[in-house]
Chains A and B, each alone.
Chain A
Amino acid sequence: MSEKVNLNVNGLEIESDPNKLLIEACEDSGIHIPRFCWHKRLDPVGMCRMCLVEVETPRGKMLVPSCTTEVSDEMVVDTESDVVKKAQEGVLEFLLINHPLDCPICDKAGECPLQDQTMAYGPGESRFVEEKRHFEKPINISEIILLDRERCILCARCTRFSDEISGDPLIEFIQRGNKTEVNTFPNEPFKSYFSGNTVQICPVGALTSTSYRFKARPWDLKSIRSTCNGCPTGCSIELNSSQNKMLRILGVDNDAVNQGWMCDKGRYNFEYLNSDSRLKTPLKMTDNELVEIEIQDVYSELAEFIKDRQTKVNFLLGSNLTNEDYVAFREFSNTISKSERSFYLNDDLLYKGFFGENIELAKIDDLNSSDAIVVWAEDLKEKLPVLYLRIRQAVKNGVKLVVFGHTNETLSDIADVFYGKDMVSENFEILKDLSKMKEINNLVAGKNITAILGKSTPYQSDESVTKLFEFLNSNANSKVLNAYSKGNTYGAFQTLENLKGLNDFVNDISKDNTDLLFIVGADPIGRSVYSNQIKSIIKSIDTVVTLDNFNHETSELSDYVVPISSTLGEKEGTFTNIEFRTSRIDKLVPSPGQTLSDWEFITSLMNFAGLTVETNSLEDLNRKAYENLDSSLSPVFDNLDKPSNLDGMINIFNPKIAASENKLNKTMFFTGEKLYGDSATERHSDSISMLGSKKFIEVSESVAEKYNLTSGSCILAQDELEVTVSYEVNNSFPNDLVYIPTNRRELNKFDFSREIMIIPSQVKEALNVN
């Protein structure tokens, strides 16, 4: 570590790392300098001049912007002199010249840096008598983001974010001088998975979201810190509610994880909490119809089954449970039967992964300190969005990037080496001998590597990924980040044993070994590629109990449906992210009707059935979850609530995954999931529901030619099933490859091990006429 430098600020001696910006060094020492454009996670631009301070120079004192000036030893700074005050007043007077008097109707009012800094540093009056500039009031720059250009103070935070951080610069300054505005290119909206971040960092109310606009005043908001359970990145978040309604989610700057950012799905997929369609009362299948039933009756009827020691019980668990919920199911299972059992996770892609004695697991922060990152996994931008941002950041800091196709094309833009169709076959096998490939050897041999590995699609062989892993392991000093992509998968890893995915569920489960099946927070029929098989299994099983927030295709075939509270905002517990960092999930709003947490339901059921219950409270479950860990290191509530642990606690763990190799037939179609889909929660979140509704496929050039696709849409057909989809030609696909996103309903209903016909829509029309 290099030497510190010493500065004198306002007569106080402060110490700082060299190369720090003055504004940051002051902040670290508790001296606040007002600012609009500077943001700790963005490159400085010196746009707004709000941060001017006086610095002594050989030519006397000079006003300099502290956000673009680096500290130096023996620097003498004044942040409060009369000259500085005058400058601040001047800057604010200028900024307010064109700023409308919108505060009474502005979402930002009450938490607005422009309001606050005008109050603290402003001149108190304006000399401007001319007319302010006018723009059409908010314009939609995307389906979810609005821009009010009159309110914009041209700080370039939003444009820098989209350029530097998310890499989709679809907004920019247009025109110059007094006419400057932020805008998009005509007919090219600000379509970004990260656009909500710009709303959060805009220092005025210029950028707003359709979901929060006019919903609340900041001073009415209740807030609590929690963790997003949308994917295993586990972003730190703040939940905001008013009058017991969840209204907004903000990113919290957790340096090791999300650094303040979130993806838009994590940010906006919450409106379903307030939906009228939420399940509020238990239901029972009676004469082919789900009818309301008292929860007491559910308990006593199920208790009868459970008391009968002959009843064979199995569990299919979703990935959005808290660790405590998982433990509750584990305890339940241990109590009813001592024999070893498997837990099935609602995941098509669960495979063995890379764990064990000789494998070093990576942390997210290792990305920044590696020499190179090697990625072969599902599309990280779609599945682990903020991890994708962290990769971008590492690359920006000079880390090399090697990407394998056919799912991570978005990263190929910034990759040093991209191995596309020449290197990876349509079956997702690496075609060439890696040890003979010069580029990758130059980048990895003997270097520190973080390998982000996972299966890209269910039919890909486990072995193909293992090959890459072994190559890296023997040639480089590599750490692995296993890229499982569903919610709290790592929490399940930490708390459950013998984990299997849906592939094994389909092979293992039948009415012979299961009388009672619990399906918790999962709609495999609506989402899995094994939809049809799962459907027949569920139909054959005597008693199926579904616990979820909404009715869906799976619950509609169940015998009992129990409404449960959402892990987002309605539950307390813990969550474990991709690097085994466990942090708090917290509760801010009550859950509707008779909903319960999963653990509450299971615990009551156990009591009803007269079983011994050792874990009667959330705290018991929380302790039980980590009983094998050293108590000072374990993420029990008491430890997590310490201020130093708010960002979570890492306990690397070797999970017991019992998933067996997938034996799917390979066809032309490879399945995956997009960030947005049409799951029950997304359908009931009005602001984003349209984003995942489009049905489409991506086809290689050869497929487009072969099937004569010209009109932009086509029909997929198999047996009785016909779905009209639009298609996009993806030039980086090898011949004869079609991508199909299965988190758009209907598209998962095909049998992917058999041929699916592609019919151009004009042909279909012609047929219909005859």
Chain B
Amino acid sequence: MSWDDKLLKQAKKIIKLYPQKRSALGPLLHLAQSKDGYISDDSISVISDLVGITEVQVKSVSTFYSMYKQEPTGKYLLSVCKSISCEINNSSEVINKVQEFTGLNNNETDEDELFTFEAVECIGACGGAPAVQVNYETVEGVTPENAINMCKWLKETKPDVVVADEMQENFGGVKSFDWAIQDNSGSTSTAPGFQTLNTTKVKK
């Protein structure tokens, strides 16, 4: 098995939350994503053992959902929305600028394994279009200039946790609505930050 004890312990904790082992498949795949930055065949074998379904059945699920990456990602997964509300609000320019800065085409990762860029379908932040996610932490109202600033900031400070609220304050603009709750926890990998998965951390 290619998972260390800590990760296996985490996995078993997650499995316990469900009435059937196989129901834990989705979260376990996120866990695998947080470990390697993608879903490796090794991880698939481990998960298949853990939940008692065949490897190809795990693969079937992991390749169906686009949040489970089939290729390694960089430290930061930049997802820029290209759907209609964002497009109307100039997302194509955001996309251009991010691509220019990173030198990446869609779904590419740079040599330093710092950035992976993708243009994605609606991420549910239409009210704050154009929207961008960094490791699934959403920033709304991002102008092309601020997108560049954000990339520069990521490149220079290389934060271990990216926090939506913090990025919103520094690089965001108009928001869908005010959540009114301060949340200074964020994502620590290219999997979304979930407490049960241990993929989130509070930024001090």
Contacts and interface: CB of A to CB of B under 8 A. Distances in A.
Interface of A: 168-176, 183-186, 188
Contacts of A186: 41
B63 interface: yes
Contacts of A188: 54-56
A173 B60 contact: yes
Given A172-B57, A183-B56, 15 more contacts: A168-B54, A169-B53, A169-B54, A169-B57, A172-B59, A174-B59, A176-B63, A176-B64, A176-B65, A185-B41, A185-B44, A185-B59, A186-B41, A188-B55, A188-B56
B40 to A, nearest CB: 11
Interface in B104-143: none
Contacts of A173: 60, 64
Contacts of A171: 56
Contact of B64 (A169, A170, A175, A185): A175
A511 B53 CA distance: 58
Interface string B59-98: 1100111100000000000000000000000000000000
Interface residues of B, number: 13
Contacts of A172: 54, 56-57, 59-60
A174 B65 CA distance: 10
Contacts of B59: 172, 174, 185
Contacts of B57: 169, 172
Contacts of A183: 56
Interface in B11-69: 41, 44, 53-57, 59-60, 63-66
Nearest to B53: A169
A175 B59 CA distance: 9
B63 A185 contact: no
A174 B41 CA distance: 13
Q: Which 4 A-B pairs have the closest CB atoms?
A: A172-B60, A185-B55, A185-B56, A172-B56
B54 A174 contact: no
30 contacts: A169-B53, A169-B54, A169-B57, A170-B54, A170-B56, A171-B56, A172-B54, A172-B56, A172-B57, A172-B59, A172-B60, A173-B60, A173-B64, A174-B56, A174-B59, A174-B63, A175-B63, A175-B64, A176-B63, A176-B65, A176-B66, A183-B56, A184-B56, A185-B41, A185-B44, A185-B55, A186-B41, A188-B54, A188-B55, A188-B56
A188 B53 CA distance: 13
A174 B55 CA distance: 11
A188 B54 CA distance: 10
A174 B54 CA distance: 13
Give the residue among A174, A176, A184, A185 with the most B Cβ atoms within 10 A. A185
A169 B48 CA distance: 12
Contacts of B54: 168-170, 172, 185, 188
Contacts of B56: 169-172, 174, 183-185, 188
A110 to B, nearest CB: 32
A173 B58 CA distance: 10
Give the residue among B41, B59, B66 with the most A Cβ atoms within 10 A. B59
Nearest to B61: A172
Give the residue among B55, B56, B60, B64 with the most A Cβ atoms within 10 A. B56
Nearest to A163: B57
Contacts of B66: 176
B68 to A, nearest CB: 11
Contacts of B63: 174-176
A256 to B, nearest CB: 31
A395 B168 CA distance: 55
A184 B56 CA distance: 6
Contacts of A169: 53-54, 56-57
Contacts of A175: 63-64
Nearest to A177: B64
A735 B40 CA distance: 37
A170 B59 CA distance: 11
A82 to B, nearest CB: 35
A183 B64 CA distance: 13
Contacts of A185: 41, 44, 54-56, 59
A43 to B, nearest CB: 16
B35 to A, nearest CB: 19
A756 B70 CA distance: 50
Give the residue among A171, A172, A176 with the most B Cβ atoms within 10 A. A172
Give the residue among B53, B57, B66 with the most A Cβ atoms within 10 A. B57
Nearest to B64: A176
